[in-house]
Structure 1
Amino acid sequence: PEPVKEYLKHQKTLKAPADYIVFKRWDCLEEGEKPQVIIFFASPDVLSGLFTLASFDEPKPYGVIAPFCAGCGSIVDVPYRETKSERPRAVLGMFDVSARPYVPAGVLTFAIPWPKFVRMVDNMEESFLITKSWNKVRNRIKRNPQ
């Protein structure tokens, strides 16, 4: 349909940087490996923490974006492109209705470009993560794991 053609006119083709993309669980990374993007499949409570931490050191309220795209675009294409920006943003995703059947209900993705992830980790000890409010949410997460 016409709206799709119009949408695609504004999309840039991404030249893959390699022949393959490798997805690894965090606990399978080897020392010294630096992933390009960290992807969380998370519940709303976990997302609230990730969202807040991703926005913690941002001068503007746009440290996280939720672009209209395919499910794979929200965990690969858009976050990879963000790694190249001066101030990379995290990507909230997996809203694509064709991708939703493949993830649990109540779960979305939060993809973080590596440079932003490093900043988030550096900010943890000074952030909301040390507050009583977050402790209440954290306890709820423990009681209701996904």
Structure 2
Amino acid sequence: MDLEEFKNCLKLENKILSVILSNDYDASCVEPKHRCIISDIDNLDSNDTLKISKDNLKCPGANCGAGFYDGNPQIPGGFEYFLSYGKGENYPTGERVKKTPEIASEMFENQPKDIINNNKYILIKHFKEDDEAQSVILKVNLDQLSVLIYLFNFESSIYDPVYTATSAGCASVFRIPLYESLSGQNKGVISNLDISSRIYTDKDEVYFTVPGVKFKKMLENAGESLLITKEWEKIRKRIKN
């Protein structure tokens, strides 16, 4: 199945994005405008390429989430308190995604490191079949996600090819999926579940972020997969364009 057939079959027009590590960029690239990079991704025009770097991200934690910086996020009062119950008066309100600062700190230490490979930029653009993307983001609803997970695992006998990333939204889209691609483990990641970043996206959508090589395999296999069954056609009819 070619890309256009795939997008039509899954109703994913303008919802598939390439994530490309690079040391070069075209002068026409656009830069982030919003505090949360997820907002820039979700509103990317079909003709634009978004260039992000350690120098143009606006959120104090985004360099860590994107993978440009492996140290602790520079947040007043300490990032470990920000992720838990906060440091107190005159400091940012805690997000309360972790019970204690110690658990938050341990979670960050467990995240993959060294995933940018000395590249200066991450480029995000609408996917084309000749892209050499390290990972691919698919903006999907639950019906689309369910069938894509099965397609993702079409050539494998394992039962856990995909996991959710309970991290910052940007880390779940960049740092963690890029690690899956560059390490060769090639698992898929259900991304952007962080409620702090979900406020910038469609309420019915999540991101399914997969290694670029695996996405091309998904395109190859789509034409003989469950996407050609009557069951999928029934579900497809209830997906809004």
TM-score where L is the length of structure 2? 0.54
Per-residue CA deviations over 1:79-102 (Å, capped at 9, x if unaligned) read 111112344111111111111111
Cα pair 2:154 2:225 within 8 Å, conserved:
yes
2:221 aligned to which of 113, 117, 123: 123
**Could you tell me which residue of structure 2 aligns to residue 103 of structure 1?**
201
Q: What CA RMSD, in Å, does the superposition of the two structures yield over aligned residues? A: 1.7
**Could you tell me which residue of structure 1 aligns to residue 102 of structure 2?**
2
Cα pair 1:82 1:113 within 8 Å, conserved:
yes
**Could you tell me which residue of structure 1 aligns to residue 68 of structure 2?**
none
Count of residues paired in the alignment = 140
> Secondary structure of the equivalent of 1:39?
strand
- Once the two structures are TM-superposed, the CA of residue 11 in structure 1 deviates from its matched residue by 2.6
Cα pair 1:53 1:127 within 8 Å, conserved:
yes
Cα pair 2:180 2:211 within 8 Å, conserved:
yes
The alpha-carbon distance between structure 1 residues 61 and 5, as it changes in their structure 2 partners (threshold 3 A), is: same
**Could you tell me which residue of structure 1 aligns to residue 113 of structure 2?**
13
> Secondary structure of the equivalent of 1:38?
strand
Per-residue CA deviations over 1:64-89 (Å, capped at 9, x if unaligned) read 11122111112111111111234411
- For structure 2, list consecutive stretches of 5 or more residues without a partner in the other structure: 1-100
- For structure 1, list consecutive stretches of 5 or more residues without a partner in the other structure: none
Cα pair 1:14 1:77 within 8 Å, conserved:
no
Alignment of 1:1-146 (within 5 A): 1-17=101-117, 18-26=119-127, 29=128, 32-141=130-239, 144-145=240-241
C-alpha distance in 1, partners of 2:184/2:102? Answer: 34
Q: Quick one: percent identity of the two aligned structures? A: 33
Cα pair 2:181 2:212 within 8 Å, conserved:
yes
TM-score where L is the length of structure 1? 0.86
C-alpha distance in 1, partners of 2:191/2:110? Answer: 19
